[in-house]
Structure 1
Amino acid sequence: MKKNVHPLPLATLLLPLAFMLGCRPAQAQQLCSASSNPVSFGLYDPQSSAHLDNTGSITVTCQATVSLLIGYTVKLSAGSSGAYAQRKMLSGANSLNYQAYADAARTSVWGDGSSSTSFVTDGYLLQVLTPVSKTYTVYGRVPGSQNVKAGSYLDTLTVLITY
């Protein structure tokens, strides 16, 4: 089992949740890579009680020289806050709370399985020299009514893919 850890910037107010990660081969017969679509929250209005929601995605593509049954997990770190309960984006000494979810209802915090978080588990049969791609949506939310100063807020999450 090979574990690949890659830092991912999760910015806000132009929050590109840039999942630029690459999976290195777990075996000589397999090669995996990943690409991303950024999450951009846009402008946040601290006087609004409405949540600011948007999505991004991670696409994992694997190819093998022989047929293999591949299973893997996709986990996210807590970010700079160090806690899944409330992730924080920073702008200097200022912070803006946000969360990354694994489901559209935004009830399942995407983490590493600890602290009541969930992660993505998937798999498929790789065919000889035929790449297989799977795309996973990341559901982001910035809660409303946060008294924050203007600025560009940023957090960095780490994606861990184990296969």
Structure 2
Amino acid sequence: MSFLARALIVATALLAAGSPAQAGTTTATLGVRVVVQQSCIVSGATLDFGTYSSNQTKDLNGFTQIAFSNCPQGTLRFELDGGVNGSAGVRRLSDGKGSFLSYGLYRDSARTQVFGQGNDARVITLPASGSGKIGVMGRIPGRQLVPAGTYTDTVAILLTF
């Protein structure tokens, strides 16, 4: 083989091996979107029993409503904790001086279904998104001998939607 033929073979091999094959590229975009709606809100309330006479014979009943707004369609679960002076099973109002007055919170007007947490939560279903109120019934049992004063408790409300 002549020198010229060998030189052509080597040059062709170098050209083929010297530049790698290029892959093609292209670009596009990814759109990202979310709709933010106003969040479901629960409003606090006050259950004011009025006046209880120490050691009165009759129970003292009370009623209030918890409002909710801007909630989505579906299940709403309302839970009440035990307050700062007791537990959901043993709620207590305090005069701040060491005296306590027992009371209960209920989901029903007969005051037989405790309003608390877990299985004692109040669950409602909204057929459409919206707002509304749920009732909270309270009872201070009679025959509690306590000193005169103003008795209070603070109960946290948890709304799960």
Q: TM-score, normalised by structure 2?
A: 0.70
Render the CA deviation track for 1:79-129: whole Å, top value 9, x for unaligned.
Answer: 12342222001112111111111110000110002xxx51111232446xx
Query: Separation in 2 of the partners of 1:97 and 1:69?
Result: 37
* 1-structure distance, mates of 2:54, 2:105: 19
| 2:153 alignment counterpart | 155
Q: How does 1:60-71 map to 2 (within 5 A)?
A: 60-62=68-70, 69-71=73-75
Among residues 83, 87, 100, which one is paired with 1:83 in the alignment?
A: 87
Aligned letter for 1:43?
A: T
How far off its partner does 1:36 sit?
A: 4.8
Larger radius of gyration: 2
Aligned to 2:4: none
Q: In the alignment, which residue of structure 2 is the partner of 1:98?
A: 103
Identity %: 31
**Which has more strand, going by share of residues?**
1
Secondary structure at the counterpart of residue 31 of structure 1: coil
C-alpha contact (below 8 Å) 1:75/1:160 kept by paired residues: yes
- Pick 1 or 2: higher relative contact order, CA cutoff 8 A, min separation 6: 1
Amino acid at match of 1:38: T
Report how many residues are paired.
126
> Is residue 53 of structure 1 aligned with residue 61 of structure 2?
yes
Gaps of 5+ in 1: 1-26
CA distance in 1, matches of 2:135, 2:103: 16
Gaps of 5+ in 2: 1-34
Q: Distance in 2 between matches of 1:148 and 1:87?
A: 15
